[in-house]
Amino acid sequence: MLELRSVTAGYDRRDPVVRDVHLTVAPGEAVGLLGPSGCGKSTLARVAALLHRPDRGQVVIDGEVARGWRHRAPRAQRTAFGVVFQQPRLSADPRLTLTQLIAEPLRATGRAAEVPGRVADLARTVGLGDDLLARRPHEVSDGQLQRACLARALVLDPRWLICDEMTAMLDASTTAALVAAVEGYRARTGAGLLAVGHDKVLLERWCDRTVHWDELSGDAAADRTT
């Protein structure tokens, strides 16, 4: 169970972009989070993945309250999340080849021996040909790069996947391929998913449950009850 309890977060304490938000994702559940751009859903996704420290509130991962964020989070807790970002160009180090990109988490966690096998496996899963793997980010398309980023997110077998507008920059066929790859992984491992986006049709078909941004915050919940 991944729980966000009355999370308030942002980049300026006086003016948080996320106010008092509650959200839970049950084990194995796929939750879609819908909202207009700029509403703070990406910030919430980063809080959930322990990449952004909230001003207030708690993130509870399988009953364990997160105490640290970013590097201060224990490695086991950080790597429990596979994160895919909206813009593949910015989320790939321009100096690494796609193979190195996918293998980086394995090397960072001292599992370099598994690199050849895992990379070949995942490249097949996300549909990347061998010829592409030796290239650098500027030599492939956005869609191909996003496939590699998804492979990187899956390489440590995370229990939770956070997809922040994963397919916003991509065409329909790549979107279908990536969603299929995520669903294949979830079917195999039972991982939970938090998919953030503004494409209602996509999220409603992809996820078990979709919630709208406005339903999450305490204020709005209070408004509805009155």
Q: How far is the CB of 226 from another protein (least distance, A)?
A: 39
Other beta carbons within 10 angstroms of residue 70's beta carbon come to 12
Site stretch for another protein (CB under 8 A), options 85-93, 170-178, 180-188, 200-208: 85-93
Q: How far is the CB of 64 from another protein (least distance, A)?
A: 17
Q: Are 70 and 79 in contact (CB under 8 A)?
A: no
**Residue 144 φ/ψ, nearest 5 degrees:** -65, -40
* 91 touching another protein, by CB under 8 A: yes
**DSSP of 9-47:** E-SSTTS-SEEEEEEEE-TT-EEEEE--TTSSHHHHHHH
Indicate the residue among 54 and 82 with the shorter CB distance to another protein.
Answer: 82
For residues 206 and 140, what is the distance between their CA atoms, to the nearest angstrom?
27
With CB under 8 A as the contact rule, the residue among 15, 90, 173, 225 that binds another protein is: 90
* 25 touching another protein, by CB under 8 A: no
Indicate the residue among 95 and 138 with the shorter CB distance to another protein.
Answer: 95
* 159 touching another protein, by CB under 8 A: no
Site stretch for another protein (CB under 8 A), options 2-10, 84-92, 167-175, 200-208: 84-92
For residues 18 and 216, what is the distance between their CA atoms, to the nearest angstrom?
10
* 105 touching another protein, by CB under 8 A: yes
Site stretch for another protein (CB under 8 A), options 15-23, 26-34, 149-157, 208-216: 149-157
For residues 39 and 45, what is the distance between their CA atoms, to the nearest angstrom?
12
With CB under 8 A as the contact rule, the residue among 78, 118, 147, 159 that binds another protein is: 78
Sheet with 56-61, edge to edge strand ranges: 18-25, 2-9, 56-61, 64-65
The residues, ordered by sequence, that sit 6+ positions from 32 with a Cβ below 8 Å of its Cβ are 195, 196, 197, 203, 204, 206, 207, 209, 210, 211
Binding site for another protein (CB under 8 A): 46, 49-51, 70-71, 75, 78-79, 81-83, 85, 87, 90-93, 95, 104-105, 108-109, 149, 152-153, 155-156
